[in-house]
Copies of this chain bind each other. A is one copy, B any other.
């Protein structure tokens, strides 16, 4: 726990001002509404260390790539979510002196992220030249009116009379710290500034997105609206108002800054200015307090669907809620052109782009806690990129409709340029296939599969069938030169996870095709035609590959072997590593990591987690014990799978240990990197640890496995799950249970023939029996 953060069930509270931690706090206290994201930068001028970050979803820039040694096939650009216009800025002068927390004496300081109601509040008292002021700011990004952000900033003159100047502004002259060539990404198209309102329209270079950022201002003095005299300021990429207001001791001034970000993704370019003005008027006429009330109500509704309530452990409660809150701030599932970057909207790292994290870690959360359209839009995102994935595979020498989805993408094109990842971490294709399967079995709805998923599956299967080759030496199909989810091995042969998910994809595609042919013969025929699918030829090959795929195996230990040759390594355990050399990625050179037996995240366990029905309890235990002892968990995506599997083997204490590593990863800044942004996708893994792990709520084909465990420290916990299909049976610790075991105040569970049709999601409550 960072010393300055205070445990609380619903709030994140920072008490005291710690300039050296400011970047970290800016990440943690980020706000977002799926459309706009804003780091917890200060409204007023701050000359201390800060990473300015205002992000508008879907607005990116193709930054020219930087590479040491070019390899054929590398992309030219890395699409990055841009730091967009600063809409929060309100500079403040007290009798001509600029308020700046880096320079003033800070008497008290408190930052609160209200997760229950969705707003950020900051209060502080500062002094300079014997003038003390008290400041309170509240800001939020509305999840009701998603183009709008609002700030209420109050200044109270505590011990003096004088003049307070406000200079609210919009600044488009911003850059990304991670720009490869120090370029600025925005051009100004036009700007307008009046008294009390104004906007700038910017256009991104190359990608040609237009964004209009506007503001409208309201001033109050001692609770009465005032209309002070305002000067207008306009510079290149910058507009502002400035006004000086006289105050006496104990006077309170308030400025309301209503701001909008209106983009060419949602509006025609020619309408941007007028939409900006209309939206601002709407915001002002609703007013701050009404908007805040709507915000609270909307968040309360979100929490009804996605909350996990933990009793007996405030830190755990705060941690899990923080994760759920940030996930809901990042992605709302309303726009199928958007996705989830590993850092969400909380920093520049990873460029806000989409990774396999979405399918492998984030999807289960949204599937279980939101209406199915949310998860479906994540699948549609990939469907819409299918053509580009086929082009991407063509660049790498594949053909006939084979698709390789990019490792990192914004618009479907590959962004990444590290050969062992870009070209070789092809297991991402498997996660995309699995996501279709996961969605379909969760919702019981084949509509996506039959209309869109099948196209994706065929393209993926075509890729795998071309990517394998037959090894005459082994008499088996092999997959050479890959990097698995364990990125501490590069360019290996026959990564067990990759081979497994590849063959599984072929199986699932065949099965889906069979089912489509049976149920919708006409649709099947038209798909076959459209995709130029050679039914017999292609599926025969796929079946041969499924039958003869090579799976490395450790005969003595009876575990799946991570890859060919793994047993040639020095057989050490993670516990053999000198603790002074952990994490090894900070102390060891890359080659040493590569040839060590140590695992960043255990991909064999990832495979077992995904295809759990295939493996019995003993098999899971053996593999878990073998790989856990070799895993150093230097990926934020590692611990959650270990937690779920530890739960699976009934080891709640170990499961809880792993859970702890992820639940407060950012709040407690374990990896000393939260200043770069939050680990958004790994937050979904934390949710998995509780619901799928302790709670045991995992769909296993047609079977909902339900074997809840309660961590020692907890007295009870409850959460929502959502399955829309007939669930054959519901088990607790292997025993079929009746509905009465489920605390179902929000359920409309329909029982027929021992099947539970869980229509809208039910609330599961688990209590410790004393």
* Other 11 A-B pairs with CB < 8 A, given A72-B590, A473-B567: A72-B589, A72-B593, A73-B591, A395-B589, A397-B589, A469-B595, A481-B594, A481-B595, A491-B594, A493-B565, A565-B565
Residues of B within 8 A of A588 (CB): 72, 397
- CB atoms of A565 and B564 under 8 A apart: yes
Residues of B within 8 A of A73 (CB): 589-591
- The stretch that binds B, out of A233-241, A290-298, A417-425, A440-448, is A417-425
Residues of B within 8 A of A473 (CB): 567-568
User: Considering only CB atoms, which chain B residue lies closest to A586 in the complex?
Assistant: B72
User: Considering only CB atoms, which chain B residue lies closest to A585 in the complex?
Assistant: B72
- CB atoms of A71 and B589 under 8 A apart: yes
Residues of B within 8 A of A567 (CB): 471-473
Residues of B within 8 A of A420 (CB): 420, 491
A69 sits at the interface (CB 8 A): yes
Which of A481-530 touch B at CB < 8 Å?
481, 490-491, 493-494
- CB atoms of B471 and A590 under 8 A apart: no
Which of A656-709 touch B at CB < 8 Å?
none
Which of A31-77 touch B at CB < 8 Å?
65-69, 71-73
The CA-CA distance from A594 to B480 in the complex, in Å, is 9
A478 sits at the interface (CB 8 A): yes
A474 sits at the interface (CB 8 A): yes
A569 sits at the interface (CB 8 A): yes
- CB atoms of A591 and B419 under 8 A apart: yes
A248 sits at the interface (CB 8 A): no
- CB atoms of A417 and B68 under 8 A apart: yes
- CB atoms of B396 and A480 under 8 A apart: no
Q: How far is the CB of A316 from chain B (nearest CB, A)?
A: 34
A745 sits at the interface (CB 8 A): no
- CB atoms of A396 and B491 under 8 A apart: no
Interface residues on A, range: 35 or more
Residues of B within 8 A of A268 (CB): none
Residues of B within 8 A of A565 (CB): 480, 493, 564-565
A570 sits at the interface (CB 8 A): yes
Q: How far is the CB of A446 from chain B (nearest CB, A)?
A: 35
Identify the 5 closest CB pairs spanning chains A and B, nearest first. A73-B589, A423-B591, A71-B590, A481-B595, A473-B567
Residues of B within 8 A of A481 (CB): 591, 594-595
A592 sits at the interface (CB 8 A): yes
The CA-CA distance from A419 to B592 in the complex, in Å, is 11
Residues of B within 8 A of A469 (CB): 568-570, 595
Residues of B within 8 A of A571 (CB): 472
The CA-CA distance from A396 to B587 in the complex, in Å, is 10
The CA-CA distance from A132 to B702 in the complex, in Å, is 92
- CB atoms of B590 and A419 under 8 A apart: yes
- CB atoms of A424 and B480 under 8 A apart: no
Residues of B within 8 A of A72 (CB): 585-590, 593
- CB atoms of A490 and B491 under 8 A apart: yes
Which of A375-420 touch B at CB < 8 Å?
395-397, 417-420
Which residue of B395, B480, B590 is within 8 Å of A569 (Cβ)?
A: B480
Residues of B within 8 A of A587 (CB): 72
The CA-CA distance from A592 to B568 in the complex, in Å, is 26
The CA-CA distance from A298 to B69 in the complex, in Å, is 41
Q: How far is the CB of A73 from chain B (nearest CB, A)?
A: 3
Residues of B within 8 A of A493 (CB): 565, 568
Q: How far is the CB of A321 from chain B (nearest CB, A)?
A: 34
Which of A62-113 touch B at CB < 8 Å?
65-69, 71-73
Q: How far is the CB of A107 from chain B (nearest CB, A)?
A: 42
The CA-CA distance from A593 to B570 in the complex, in Å, is 29
Which residue of B68, B471, B478, B594 is within 8 Å of A67 (Cβ)?
A: B68
The CA-CA distance from A369 to B69 in the complex, in Å, is 36
User: Considering only CB atoms, which chain B residue lies closest to A584 in the complex?
Assistant: B72
The CA-CA distance from A473 to B594 in the complex, in Å, is 19
CB-defined A-B contacts under 8 Å, sample of 9? A68-B68, A71-B589, A72-B587, A73-B591, A397-B589, A469-B568, A469-B569, A480-B568, A481-B594
